[in-house]
Amino acid sequence: MKNKYLSTSLGLYMNYFVHGMALIIIAQNIDFLSQKWHTDLAGAAGVVSSFGIGKLLAVFISGKLSDKFGRKLSVILGVFFYIVFLGGILLSPNTIIAYAFGISAGIANSFLDTGTYPALMEAYPKKAASANIVVKAFVQAGQFLLPFMIAFILANNLWYGWSFIVLIAILLINLLYTLTRTFPPMTVGKPLDFEKEIVEEKKAFHFSIDEICLILFGFVAQTLLYIMSQWIAKYGSEVIHMTDNASRLLVSYASVGAILCVCVTFILGNRGVKTLHILITYVTMTMLVSFTLFAFPTEIVCLVGAFLLGYFSAGGIIQLGLTLLAEVSARGKGFVTSLYTIAEGIAVFVIPLIAAAISRIDIAAIFLLNAGIALFGLALLLIVFARKKKFARDHI
């Protein structure tokens, strides 16, 4: 995949390395932050729901800004708001102020997504799915390394805030690097042949059934990622009664699974395996593994389950779903990324509140919720699959 935009891509991917850490930095420091904010674990975890508000606030302008003024500006704004988030959380004296700064993380995520994914699809038009799935490798690399960084900090009796400072430093360096890079020219997506029939549907409903299903899938994919990354450690410590350090490392095991998934998915994509088929398989397995974690809360199930959830639910289904949406839609890539991000934002706002409420009763039940959400996602994908098969039969 070497081309003249490789150096630009590396800068884009590095932002997601930090993004992966930022997604779990509250969960990984939740004991310190809950004490500082004078709240319980559920109260501190609820701050993460602010990410969803930020996504929803920014998404109405981030996609249009990306399509009109270019991907580079969108990426730069994303980095800026992530720096605001990390510094703000570190300085927040209570959950109210932390919640306000958490909104910055959602805004950052929205700008990064609507700048990065379209840029990668434009840089690698023939291998868009593969280019986007590499984003996940960098996200998971960040999530793999952060627990070890925090374990090192704790083992040496250092201030927990150093984990935030390191992320800010990486972002600042990468921002200077990105400013010197050239981005690919913008393009407008073309629908696949099997989607030509949606023209009539758009006249009546504006969006095709396939577009609606795949936009909703953004909610599903984000939920599956959130529950795995934010609650697998607490599942280990509170349900299985593992030590704090051992439970934190469950996120790293999940990251190993996710990175392996990225490699396998990259190979499958280059060998012509359909993105939709991969998604159906991964979501089905996520549903089964999540139910197993709920029904059989043992240490071996926890260890294996963390790895498998990392593979199937954190290995790139968000990116694959977005790539598939961009393929079936003729709309601007920034615009469809915004729609997908809206669905993700709703998940990031709603699911943390629901999960926090469930955690006060039974943390294991959060994974039953995960299984139910995965079942809903499977239904959405099967609708798209059935419509593709029908179209193929009708045009033999």
HEC string for the chain:
CCCCCHHHHHHHHHHHHHHHHHHHHHHHCHHHHHHHCCCCHHHHHHHHHHHHHHHHHHHHHHHHHHHHHCHHHHHHHHHHHHHHHHHHHHHCCCHHHHHHHHHHHHHHHHHHHHHHHHHHHHHCHHHHHHHHHHHHHHHHHHHHHHHHHHHHHHHCCCCCCHHHHHHHHHHHHHHHHHHCCCCCCCCECCCCHHHCCHHHHHHHHCCCHHHHHHHHHHHHHHHHHHHHHHHHHHHHHHHCCCCHHHHHHHHHHHHHHHHHHHHHHHHHHHCCCCHHHHHHHHHHHHHHHHHHHHHCCCHHHHHHHHHHHHHHHCCCHHHHHHHHHHHHCCCEHHHHHHHHHHHHHHHHHHHHHHHHHHHCCCCCHHHHHHHHHHHHHHHHHHHHHHHHHHHHHHCC
Co-location of 27 and 95 in the same domain: yes
Each residue's pLDDT tens digit, 6-21: 888 899 999 999 998 9
User: Is 81 part of a structural domain of the chain?
Assistant: yes
Co-location of 180 and 211 in the same domain: no
User: Is 373 part of a structural domain of the chain?
Assistant: yes
Co-location of 125 and 230 in the same domain: no
Q: What is the pLDDT of residue 286?
A: 96
Q: What is the pLDDT of residue 226?
A: 87
Residue after which a domain boundary falls, among 153, 184, 215: 184
User: Is 194 part of a structural domain of the chain?
Assistant: no
Co-location of 111 and 158 in the same domain: yes
In this prediction, residues 57-67 reach a mean pLDDT of 80
CB 41 within 8 A of CB 233: no
What sign does the dihedral 21-15-95-339 (CA atoms) show?
Answer: negative
Co-location of 381 and 237 in the same domain: yes
Co-location of 171 and 228 in the same domain: no
- pTM score, two decimals? 0.72
Residue after which a domain boundary falls, among 184, 217, 242: 184
pLDDT band, very low/low/confident/very high, at 83 (cuts 50, 70, 90)? very high
Q: What's the whole-number average pLDDT of the chain?
A: 84
Q: State how far the Cα of 359 lies from the Cα of 365, in Å rounded to an integer.
A: 8
Residue 360 sits at φ, ψ, to 5 deg, of -75, -15
User: Is 359 part of a structural domain of the chain?
Assistant: yes
In this prediction, residues 202-224 reach a mean pLDDT of 82
User: Is 280 part of a structural domain of the chain?
Assistant: yes
Q: What is the CATH number of the domain that holds 373?
A: 1.20.1250.20
Co-location of 219 and 180 in the same domain: no
Each residue's pLDDT tens digit, 141-175: 888 888 888 888 888 888 888 989 999 999 999 99
Q: State how far the Cα of 123 lies from the Cα of 188, in Å rounded to an integer.
A: 13
User: Which residues, at least 6 apart from 29, have a Cβ–Cβ distance to it below 8 Å?
Assistant: 150, 160, 163
User: Is 356 part of a structural domain of the chain?
Assistant: yes
Higher pLDDT, 376 or 33: 376
Q: State how far the Cα of 324 lies from the Cα of 163, in Å rounded to an integer.
A: 35
User: Is 198 part of a structural domain of the chain?
Assistant: no
Co-location of 101 and 238 in the same domain: no
Co-location of 34 and 168 in the same domain: yes
- Gyration radius from the chain CA atoms: 20
CB 52 within 8 A of CB 345: yes
Instruction: Provide, rounded to the nearest whole percent, the portion of the chain with pLDDT above 70.
Output: 91
Co-location of 159 and 292 in the same domain: no
CB 134 within 8 A of CB 15: no
pLDDT band, very low/low/confident/very high, at 45 (cuts 50, 70, 90)? confident
Co-location of 314 and 352 in the same domain: yes
Each residue's pLDDT tens digit, 300-318: 999 999 999 999 987 778 8
Q: How many residues does the chain have?
A: 396
Co-location of 133 and 217 in the same domain: no
CB 75 within 8 A of CB 115: yes
What domain count does the chain have?
Answer: 2
Q: What is the pLDDT of residue 298?
A: 92
**Residue 84 belongs to domain spanning:** 1-184
